[in-house]
Amino acid sequence: MDAEAQDSFREFVENRSSALLKTAVLLTGGDRHAAEDLLQNALIKAAGHWYRIDEPEAYVRQILYRQQVSRWRLKWRRRELTVAEPPEPGANPDAASAAELRLLMRGALARLTARQRTVLVLRYFEDLPEADVARILGCSVGTVRSTTHRSLARLRTLAPELTALGRQAVDARPQPSRDFSPVEVRP
């Protein structure tokens, strides 16, 4: 890699690594160490092809997704997250801070299978259409749809408080005014 390409690569890593790490953390179910490994491996692979990459972020994200898919296809034993005491639902969901909500979501995502978690991250965090998710994961659109449906159902079962918080957020949105005052129309 020549000096110009090295500078370009360093600048990319400095500017985009935090956003890419967030995606990697979600893909690994909240395991920051595994996410850092996933991102580092993706960056190493990208560095080897840096001179011919047109869209570096898209390229690195594609590597992240494919490496994560490869990890859950290896059928490794799933690591379980152990805690001293089971989490208690908050007494007042309105008082839940954004940090508590993120922790709750991260914990719920960690309890999904790697495939379910990957599909949800690609669909809802990365906001990719089903066809793109299917292409990335190497499966059909129908498989993406059914996996998304089953994943959301399992997420609702594992963390029912998320459903309640989501309903409250929808209810708290400002509703359009239903007051219709007659408008005088003049010819």
Q: For 71-96, write each residue's pLDDT tens digit.
A: 766 655 555 566 677 666 555 555 44
Clarify whether residues 75 and 145 are in a common domain: no
pLDDT at 49 over 50: yes
The model's confidence at residue 68, banded by pLDDT at 50, 70 and 90, is: confident
pLDDT at 126 over 80: yes
Mean confidence (pLDDT) of the chain: 80
Token pair recorded at residue 62: 């594609």
Q: Alpha helices of the chain — where are they, by DSSP H?
A: 3-27, 32-48, 56-73, 98-110, 114-120, 130-137, 141-158, 160-172
Clarify whether residues 165 and 111 are in a common domain: yes
Q: What is the pLDDT of residue 101?
A: 75
Residue 128: domain span: 89-173
State pTM to two decimals.
0.52
Clarify whether residues 161 and 105 are in a common domain: yes
Q: For 149-159, write each residue's pLDDT tens digit.
A: 999 999 888 88
* Phi, psi dihedral angles at 83 (to 5 degrees): -130, 160
Q: 161 in a domain, yes or no?
A: yes
Q: What gap in Å lies between CA 116 and CA 124, rounded to an integer?
A: 12
Q: For 96-117, write each residue's pLDDT tens digit.
A: 467 777 788 888 888 888 899 9
Clarify whether residues 69 and 129 are in a common domain: no
CA dihedral 29, 33, 35, 36 (to 10 degrees): 170
